[in-house]
Structure 1
Amino acid sequence: MNILITAGGTSEKIDNVRSITNHSTGRLGKIIGETFLAKGHFVTYVTTPRAVRPTNETNLTLIEIETTKELESALLDQFEHQTFDGIIHSMAVSDFTTETTLSEETFIEKLATTLTKDDALSDLTKLTEALYLSLDEIGKTIQQEKKIPSGTDRLLLFLKKNPKIIAMLREKQPQAVLVGFKLLVGVSTEELIQVGQTILAKNNCDFVLANDLEKIKGDQHQGILIDTQGQTETAQTKNEIAQLIVSKVEEKWRMQ
């Protein structure tokens, strides 16, 4: 089988020395990749600079990205050149990317300048509309500094929503067995499964691995694999999760 795996956590640059990211190490993706490789499959592994990754193998292709935009570009490039039998989208993708950054002083100056252009802002509705328009305009401010000065007492960071990578996977690779992932924190098993089923249906996945951060400690990693029939199987370690995913993907692929 020809397998695509995404793993690790994307980062979004604030300036040339700062970024916002998440705590994903890529350890689960690494083990899943190694499990596929051990069974003789070909693996294209898309990951981030600080994430762990499988050891070099003859059948392994490594692609390194950093931002969600770079991830999107890398995947689209791969989809143009090859067809995948399975896609394991375990990467923790940033929901938002930076739009611009402003000091408190600059933000107030820009907002005040915009609002004082209109003399009819005593009306609450008009004022609200003007504020939304002002924020949209300010958000498009091009950040000039390669490193943001640290002299300001308050820094305003504008974030805008990233595209949902998982949403395009089925469209671009309709033949692939698609495994999505969902991480929640401190929820009941029932809610975890319910949310996992929603993600599965929304993105037309074959399976979703739902897990709770509070149940990931050391070697212990409880994950619930959900299929399109609503059936669930639970694993208690990363190795068990990897074995479960690989066996289910192989089984689904053979049935197609």
Structure 2
Amino acid sequence: MNILITAGGTSERIDNVRSITNHSTGRLGKAIGECFLAQGHHVTYVTTPQAVRPVNQANLSIIEIETTKELASTLLNQFEQQSFDGIIHGMAVSDFTTETTLSEDIFIEKLAAKLTNDNTLNDLTSLTEALYHSLDEIGQTVQQAKKIPSGTDRLLLFLKKNPKIIAMLRDHQPQAVLVGFKLLVGVSFEELVHVGSALLTKNNCDFILANDLEQIHDKQHVGILIDATGQTTTAQTKSEIAQLIVNKVEEKWRSQS
């Protein structure tokens, strides 16, 4: 099988020396990749510079990205070049990317200037609309500094929503067995299954691996694999999750062939 795996956590640049990222280490993706490789499959492994990854070996191609935008362009490029039998989208993709940054003083000056020039702000509705419009304009301010000065007491960081990578996978690789991931924190088994099932349906996945951050520590990593029929299988460690995913993807692929 020809397998694509994404793993690690994307970073969104604030300036040339600062970024926003998440705590994903890529360890689960590494375990899944190694398990597929051990079964003789070819793996294209898309990851981030800070994440762990399988050791270089035959049948393994590693591609590094940093931002969500780079991830999207890399995947589209791969989809143009080859067809995948399975896609394991385990990367922790940033929900938001940076739009611009402003010091407190500059932000207040810009907002005050816009509002004082508007003579129609005579009720709450018009004031609210003006604020939304002003924030939208200010958010589009081009970030000029390569390194933001640290002299301000308060820095305002504007973030805008990233597109959902998982939403595009089925459209571009309709033949692939698609596995998505959902991480929640401090929820019940029922809630994990409910949210995971909704994500599976929304993005037309074959499987979703739902897990709770509070159930991930030391050698334990509880994961619930949900299929399109709603059936669940629970694993207790990263190696168990990896073997479970490989077995299920192989089984699904054989049934489609």
- C-alpha separation in 2, matches of 1:218 and 1:42: 30
- C-alpha separation in 2, matches of 1:3 and 1:117: 57
What 5-or-longer segments of structure 1 have no aligned partner?
A: none
- C-alpha separation in 2, matches of 1:191 and 1:8: 25
Aligned residue number for residue 56 of structure 1: 56
Shift of 1:219: 1.0
Aligned residue number for residue 125 of structure 1: 125
- C-alpha separation in 2, matches of 1:175 and 1:119: 58
- C-alpha separation in 2, matches of 1:124 and 1:250: 59
RMSD over equivalenced CA pairs, Å: 0.4
Q: Tell me the SS of whatever aligns to 1:147.
A: coil
- C-alpha separation in 1, matches of 2:157 and 2:100: 6
Aligned residue number for residue 65 of structure 2: 65
Amino acid at match of 1:99: E
Shift of 1:171: 0.4
Aligned residue number for residue 148 of structure 1: 148
Amino acid at match of 1:150: S
Shift of 1:23: 0.2
- C-alpha separation in 1, matches of 2:120 and 2:10: 44
1:185 correspondence with 2:193? no
Structure 2 length as normaliser, TM-score? Answer: 0.99
Aligned residue number for residue 77 of structure 2: 77
1:241 correspondence with 2:241? yes
Amino acid at match of 1:249: V
What 5-or-longer segments of structure 2 have no aligned partner?
A: none
Structure 1 length as normaliser, TM-score? Answer: 0.99
Q: Tell me the SS of whatever aligns to 2:229.
A: coil
Q: Tell me the SS of whatever aligns to 2:99.
A: strand
- C-alpha separation in 2, matches of 1:130 and 1:191: 39
Amino acid at match of 2:15: D
- C-alpha separation in 2, matches of 1:199 and 1:120: 44
Q: Tell me the SS of whatever aligns to 1:208.
A: strand
Identity %: 80
1:219 correspondence with 2:219? yes
Shift of 1:22: 0.3
Within 5 Å, give how 1:154-233 maps onto structure 2. 154-233=154-233
